[in-house]
Structure 1
């Protein structure tokens, strides 16, 4: 894709989303338009609002921006994200399949006890606020495909995945890759029923594993298992050793039914493939998949390894795109900035694909674009009228980092809180 086309496509998506909102909510002419606010937040860095306004040469106060933001729904920012994605062609694939990883991550926001995102428990008596982001991430094209945002107290990753499966039409062959936590008969059934969709889910392998998996010997294997799901406990069900799911007859709105949720008729026959492989540490990983035998055990191992791309995308989203520095206390403001960050992430990724990185003829390492610098350069390009696209590509190609394969580092699990500024955060 041409860089000018990518830029024009994003600006067009912003205009159409703003026009759609204006049609439903007519308003007086204002110094700062809705489209202007959306552009400001998509191109904003992790600084104060006053700093962002100065950089954008917009002569209004931070309080005026907050009042204007309150008139724009987070759905408008989601509309921009979706329109931008729909207008761009992302052709990267794995043997003809689009690879979509799913996982969840928490986004810390300023403390506000009155907000739906407020969490308070024995381990956090003073409470804190978090939103939970559940995205589908395209591993080959390095873009966010879809996402669903929930208040942390209402977090339901399995429910979020099912919702995204339902609302997306997968026009090309797609593999959904998930880690433990998405192990659910209901998820597997939804993916089996969805056209053009396969799954690869890491599952438990100890005493709490699926009944048929727990019976399998603990060594590398590749086999198919079949079973029947039922939501009743009749004598016939028990004799045929159907898997019983205790599904609540009535669920309160917002209830976390999770693994007890079942959306299909009963009884329901299911057949899945179980692949188990050994790691270099000697431990085993067990994968449930619907992929055909043309995908070997080594292919399955490689696909699961590729899932790590969504973890690195979260790091970039929070620290490179600046989701640790938000500009408002309201949940709606935080949602706006999450959608804005997802959009700028995709904008940068699509431009980076057009950059050519010259490799040293006798270098020890291959080199790739420094994504952190690319984000800074793409933000500046997006904010600047009539910016030079060729100069942007040259600048991006200048900033590279070596690719060091096989590096290992223990995951740093220290909890990081919301990073505030020295000024009062807008309510």
Structure 2
């Protein structure tokens, strides 16, 4: 996308289907920043993706759409979609009128009684952080849009490969430790890249991943930064 007040740059909007149990991206769609057709992207994913049975789709307000809900129901899928409040002007609940003035039905669903740190961790947010910062989906190796999309696809694939390999390596949890420990994802990705290039054998790969560990601290919370992000220009790799 080109504007008059800065050099040429390119923006994309990504809609991804994330598996919270296996920590991998099942599918994703790449769209331009101007369109942001989130509902169409999810409908396309529903019909063309291979996801496990009894999958429960969860989505935020950006996917609040009658057409999307109809497609999900027709495919006998389970879903939870966050919708806007009745007092808003653009929500699907805005024009609903009921005799007693209310439409809420109180319901209780206990998904789990566990209070472990793993249950409380937001896996999806952590996954996108790894994709953008650790695997480098901020700067790209090309200017051509098709090649940039290829770069995005390979980044998601690299993330999935890394997570599958890391999750299949057993980490010994020593007693009397305050925290559980997990593999350092940044270090693991570096060694997995060497392994895929045949520069590191399997034994040394596993040994290196087990050696560099970090504690799991899901109770930590940081205020979300709402600062605007500047575009990343195409000449970032030139000197």
Q: Mapping of 1:89-238 within 5 angstroms? A: 118=1, 120=3, 125-126=5-6, 128-170=9-51, 172-195=53-76, 197-208=77-88, 209=91, 210-211=93-94, 212=96, 215-216=101-102, 221-222=106-107
- 2:124 corresponds in structure 1 to 310
- 1:389 corresponds in structure 2 to 202
Q: How many residues align?
A: 226
The whole-number CA distance in structure 2 between the counterparts of 1:307 and 1:348 is 19
- Residue 26 of structure 2 contacts residue 51 of structure 2 at CA under 8 Å; is this kept in 1? no
Name the CA shift for 1:170/1:381 in 2 (closer, same or farther; >3 Å). Answer: closer
Moved more, 401-410 or 138-147: 401-410
Equivalent position to 1:355, from 151, 158, 169: 169
The whole-number CA distance in structure 2 between the counterparts of 1:400 and 1:213 is 55
Quote how far apart the aligned CAs of 1:339 are: 0.6
Secondary structure of the structure 1 residue equivalent to 2:12:
strand
The whole-number CA distance in structure 2 between the counterparts of 1:168 and 1:156 is 18
Quote how far apart the aligned CAs of 1:217 are: 7.5
Runs of 4+ displaced beyond 4 Å: 211-215
- Residue 120 of structure 2 contacts residue 218 of structure 2 at CA under 8 Å; is this kept in 1? no
The whole-number CA distance in structure 1 between the counterparts of 2:165 and 2:32 is 32
Secondary structure of the structure 2 residue equivalent to 1:176:
strand
Please, what is the CA RMSD of the aligned residues? 2.8
Name the CA shift for 1:146/1:384 in 2 (closer, same or farther; >3 Å). Answer: same
The whole-number CA distance in structure 1 between the counterparts of 2:64 and 2:125 is 18
Residues 350-378 of structure 1, C-alpha deviation per residue, up to 9 Å, x if partnerless?
Answer: 10011121223111111111111111111
Aligned pair 1:408/2:221, yes or no? yes
Quote how far apart the aligned CAs of 1:125 are: 4.4
The whole-number CA distance in structure 2 between the counterparts of 1:421 and 1:137 is 30
Instruction: Determine which structure has more spread, i.e. the larger CA radius of gyration.
Output: 1
Q: Name structure 1 gaps, 5 residues minimum.
A: 1-117, 223-295
The whole-number CA distance in structure 2 between the counterparts of 1:139 and 1:158 is 20
Aligned pair 1:343/2:157, yes or no? yes
TM-score (norm 2): 0.83
- Residue 177 of structure 1 contacts residue 307 of structure 1 at CA under 8 Å; is this kept in 2? no
- 1:421 corresponds in structure 2 to 236
Name the CA shift for 1:308/1:158 in 2 (closer, same or farther; >3 Å). Answer: farther
The whole-number CA distance in structure 2 between the counterparts of 1:151 and 1:345 is 22
TM-score (norm 1): 0.48
Quote how far apart the aligned CAs of 1:379 are: 0.8
- Residue 26 of structure 2 contacts residue 50 of structure 2 at CA under 8 Å; is this kept in 1? no
Name the CA shift for 1:204/1:308 in 2 (closer, same or farther; >3 Å). Answer: farther
- Residue 121 of structure 2 contacts residue 218 of structure 2 at CA under 8 Å; is this kept in 1? no
- Residue 171 of structure 2 contacts residue 182 of structure 2 at CA under 8 Å; is this kept in 1? yes
Name the CA shift for 1:417/1:125 in 2 (closer, same or farther; >3 Å). Answer: closer
Secondary structure of the structure 2 residue equivalent to 1:144:
strand
Secondary structure of the structure 2 residue equivalent to 1:394:
helix
- Residue 178 of structure 1 contacts residue 307 of structure 1 at CA under 8 Å; is this kept in 2? no
Equivalent position to 1:398, from 211, 214, 234: 211
Secondary structure of the structure 1 residue equivalent to 2:238:
coil
- Residue 9 of structure 2 contacts residue 232 of structure 2 at CA under 8 Å; is this kept in 1? no
The whole-number CA distance in structure 1 between the counterparts of 2:155 and 2:210 is 23
